[in-house]
Amino acid sequence: MKKLFLVVVSFVFGMNVIAKGNEQWIYCDGKIDKVFEISAGSNGTEILRMYKDKTYEHLLYSLKKNGKEEVERIIGKYAINKTKITFTAPAKKAFSGKFKYGTFLYNGKFYANLFDMTFRKKKELFTSTRDRKFFKPFFMCLNKDVVINNSESDEQIDLKRLLNYILEGKEKEEDKVMAIMRLIIESIAYDYDGYYKGTYINKQTDAKSILAGSNRLAVCAGYSYTMKTLCDTAGIQAEWVSGNTKQGFADLMHLGGNHAWNIITVNGKKHLYDVTWADDGTTIDMRWVDVDPLVMLGTHFPSQSEDQLVKNPMTQEQFLKTPVITPMRSQAKPIAMRLNAKQFAGNTFKFALPGKHAIEGTLAPASLVETVYNSESGSSSTSYSPKEIGSSYTEGDTDLLKHYITKANKKHSDTYIKGVIAAIKLNDIKALKELVGGENTTFFDKKGKLKLDKKAVAACVNWSGELTSLTRTRHFSFSIKSEETNQTEKDELHIEIPDKLKFMLEFDGQNYSIIGLEVF
């Protein structure tokens, strides 16, 4: 993270903030006079800050096993009488460190006693430092601009003071937004336990607890609410947006998980930010910073259409049918995708797009279907329809059609039907007889000549590749005579070229065969 290089400035710590139990969060007022690094090691750093108004802060930053820092603080006043300096130690100290409260000061250096100060001038207890990291507010991590744990109430932290430090020297609104985003991402983590249990460790509308509490965790609602709160505090207009997202094939054709993100007005224009998705654990994933609205619609669908920030908002039905489009880099721009090929030939997926693009595709198995059940008195049917219908090939791609014939397998209904259609489309009678049988009366007469209906042939010749998955309809019939009830049932298997031709199938336990055709 870019460090904030600060000159030695006055920390205007203003008025105290009242906390629970009538305790006070005491901000040290006045300009910093001297800063001393008393001790430093692998487990933390102990420092002393002296202010010109004769107040001091004694701080201990400890590095925990999880890599996070905690800070403890002792505050009080000091007095100088000639060469002797006296610090008022609290009755109950928060911690014990190496710092001694009664010592000698000479030329800005500390000594344990008068002898060391007078004769052994190299025996100072510790030396002053001008390292800028020691001038941070005590509730900030020494090594980076992150809020860390402390024993004082998170409700007492002043967000305005925090932002004054974080935004020091930043003039552009976009730089301020990035600084706020970086603060959130590096200060908090995602509350996975709360997400799965449905009980969050922090109230998602309590930015102070999320940002400065003992457990700095949040889900998307808390991330985006904290982003809005800090932007508002900094004078930057921000909105909290809720809606749904889709991230993969499992989310197609239905609204995915609930989510929240932000609209932030920068330089008078609204921009989209997803601070939750931008948190990759260590740095900011820039793909979700200032996202183009049309790119955002590839994964995010807000509850309010105006939050799409596009001229012609997408309907929910359109969102459900569109593919998942995820940006591969920051500032990604939308591309017009007009795919002439939507069907795999083996492991090859052919399509062309203008320019250079990184594309990642997923082939859905034909077995992935949703079940629909309808029933009415006297009969019922169960049908299985695909979650996604739509496959086609580039017109004139005979290699793909030949591939369908070669790969046709009677054990699998979809590859079998594709092979049959391809054989008819290419007028390959030999291949067709091998697939359906030369004696199949649905296709051939007694002399072995093709006898298909012209409309059936036209449906295959003009086939663009669209094909439903296997549908099973179970028909029940009931009859009651006297005291006897008769029931019969019949399964009907079929695959369709949508709105044109239905292939009636039979399955013997191992292979499929075509037993009839129905032209629409």
Give per-residue pLDDT as tens, 215-252.
Answer: 889 999 999 999 999 999 999 999 999 999 987 766 66
> Do the strands 471-481 and 484-497 form a parallel or antiparallel pair, or are they unpaired?
antiparallel
C-beta separation of 150 from 139 below 8 A: yes
Quick one: average pLDDT of 307-332? Answer: 85
Average pLDDT over residues 43-49: 88
On the question of pLDDT at 199 being above 50, the answer is yes
Least confident of 12-21, 395-404, 453-462: 12-21
pLDDT at 135 over 80: yes
Strand, helix or coil for residue 137: coil
Q: DSSP letters of 53-90?
A: TSEEEEEEEEE-TTS-EEEEEEEEEEEEETTEEEE---
pLDDT class of 350 with cuts at 50, 70, 90? very low
| Mean of per-residue pLDDT scores for the chain | 79
Residue 371 has pLDDT above 70, yes or no: no
Q: 230, 184 in Cβ contact below 8 A?
A: yes
415 against 385, higher pLDDT? 415
- Residue 479 pLDDT > 80, yes or no? no
Mean pLDDT across the stretch 416-440? 94
Pick the range with the lowest mean pLDDT from 21-25, 165-169, 188-192, 508-512: 21-25
Retrieve residue 77's tokens: 């006043």
Domain range list for the chain: 17-152, 163-321, 369-519
Residue labelled with tokens 């006897």? 484
Alpha-helical (H) ranges within 293-438 are 293-296, 316-321, 398-407, 413-425, 429-436
pLDDT at site 163: 94
pLDDT band, very low/low/confident/very high, at 426 (cuts 50, 70, 90): very high
How much is the pLDDT for 452? 92
Task: State both tokens at 389.
Answer: 């219908």
Sheet holding 269-273, edge to edge: 269-273, 258-266, 238-245, 300-302
Residue with the larger pLDDT of the pair 109 and 185? 185
Whether the per-residue pLDDT at 454 is higher than 80: the answer is yes
Average pLDDT over residues 280-302: 91
The CATH number assigned to the domain with range 163-321 reads 3.10.620.30
Query: Of the ranges 31-45, 161-175, 492-506, which one carries the lowest mean pLDDT score?
Result: 31-45
pLDDT at 513: 95
Task: Check residue 478 and give its pLDDT.
Answer: 58
The predicted-structure confidence for 73-105, as pLDDT tens digits, reads as follows 888 898 888 778 888 877 777 788 877 776 777
Please state the rounded mean pLDDT for residues 48-54.
90
Predicted local confidence at residue 273, as pLDDT: 98
pLDDT band at 265 (very low <50, low <70, confident <90, very high): very high
Distance in Å from the first CA to the final CA of the chain: 65
Quick one: pLDDT band at residue 284, thresholds 50, 70, 90? very high
Most confident of 61-75, 80-94, 291-305: 291-305
Q: Which residue has the higher pLDDT, 166 or 103?
A: 166
Local confidence band at 269 (pLDDT 50, 70, 90 cut-offs): very high
Does position 514 have pLDDT exceeding 90, yes or no? yes
pTM over 0.85? The answer is no
Residue 276 CB contacts under 8 Å (≥ 6 apart), including other chains: 190, 219, 220, 223, 224, 259, 260, 261
Assess whether pLDDT exceeds 90 at residue 190: yes
- Predicted confidence band of residue 121 (pLDDT cuts 50, 70, 90): confident
- Residues 25-37 have pLDDT tens digits of 777 777 888 898 8
pLDDT at 170: 94
Which range, of 63-77, 216-230, 362-376, averages the lowest pLDDT?
Answer: 362-376
Percentage, residues of the chain above pLDDT 90:
37
CA distance linking residue 405 with residue 399, whole number of Å: 10
Q: Are strands 189-190 and 217-218 parallel, antiparallel or unpaired?
A: parallel
Question: Please, which residues have CB within 8 angstroms of residue 314's CB and are 6 or more apart in sequence?
Answer: 297, 301, 308, 322
- Ranked by mean pLDDT, which of 200-214, 232-246, 366-380 comes out on top? 232-246
Pick from 91-105, 232-246, 406-420, 436-450: least confident? 91-105
Residue 344 has pLDDT above 90, yes or no: no
Higher pLDDT, 347 or 172: 172
296, with CB counted inside 10 A (0-12, 13-18, 19+), is buried
